[in-house]
Amino acid sequence: MRILAAGDHFVLSRLFVEAIRAEVDQEVEFAELTLPWPIEPFGRVGEVDEASGTEDELIAALDGAQICVTQLAGLTEKVLQASPSLKLFGISRGGPVNANIEAATRHGVAVTFAPGRNAVATAEHTMAVMLSAMRRIPATHAELRGGVWRGDLYQYQEVGPELENSYVGLIGYGAIGSRVARMVAGFGAKVLVHDPYLKPGALDGIAEQVELDDLLRRSAVVSLHARVSEETKGMIGREQIAAMPPGAVLVNCARGALVDYDAVCDALDSGHLFGAGFDVFPEEPIPAGSRLLTTPNIVMTPHLAGASKQTAAKAATILAADVARFLRGEPPLHCANPEALSPS
């Protein structure tokens, strides 16, 4: 059995190898490939998005491999056509966005992924961004380093809200949103949730389930934790921001396509929003000249919410468990196209 570990500079190839060796008790031959992300930004490879490396280098590395585990290698029609021995392609991300699932199914290649790998890291980062936006921490830190003491920000009209006894609205209550709910509840916040796919009993007394309009109207802080779909693209626009209370804070550590960022900038300029915190953007990296770079009271990080050593290790471990299931003749737990699995 030959396995290609196509790692990068975050989820290292050796993490895949170590995790698979810990799970698999049969003889395995490994090949390794290191993709350039994040030293080089990911992008479009062939017909798939958010991928790293090239089709040709992946094809060469896959020679004779039945299994590939990776975070960002692009599984394209060209790669599939050139890799007839490939049977399992594991992507250590919450969703297999860098794989052509339809083509993989036609070629009999099962695609697995790693849901929840970065849930803890992203939830913790969300809290950091939220609190930083509410208390102006990055801006005042930078000014203090520059010798400016902003004691004037103690004025009533300049201060933000506390979490305790405030309503915090969470849009999405999956692995990340549910953790954020527990964290803000620990601060004494009252938690509102909007998630049309919520299972009965999922809130477990921590939060109140409400419609989106109600959540926006009542929440001092709104944090997004939804996936991007045709239904959710641009779900927070001018109308939704206008419905939020004056002085509210908007946080997005999910996906840039969920929010109209121009509308956010307008609301910050007018003073309707107190602050905003973003880890994701409509275009990454943020282009020069973007209003996001000059509008005040925005806390920004460069899509780093999931960046922790534990995330990288969990990503490899989740894939390794499905590799072991596959080798035992069992269906993988996290398979995007189970119809591609050969009958036993």
Catalytic center residues: 255, 284, 303
Closest by CA position to 179, among listed 127, 228, 229: 127
φ/ψ of 141, rounded to 5, equals: -60, -50
Residue 338 CB coordination number (10 Å): 12
Closest by CA position to 62, among listed 33, 23, 96: 33
Q: Distance between CA atoms of 5 and 316, rounded to whole angstroms?
A: 10
Q: What is the dihedral of CA 264, 267, 270, 271, to 10 degrees?
A: -110
- Give the per-residue SS3 of the chain: CEEEEEECCCCCHHHHHHHHHHHCCCCCEEEEEECCCCCCCCEEECCEEEEECCHHHHHHHCCCCCEEEECCECECHHHHHCCCCCCEEEECCCCCCCECHHHHHHCCCEEECCCCCCHHHHHHHHHHHHHHHHHCHHHHHHHHHCCCCCHHHHCHHHCCCCCCCCEEEEECCCHHHHHHHHHHHHCCCEEEEECCCCCCCCCCCCEEECCHHHHHHHCCEEEECCCCCCCCCCCECHHHHHHCCCCEEEEECCCHHHECHHHHHHHHHHCCEEEEEECCCCCCCCCCCCHHHCCCCEEECCCCCCCCHHHHHHHHHHHHHHHHHHHCCCCCCCECCHHHCCCC
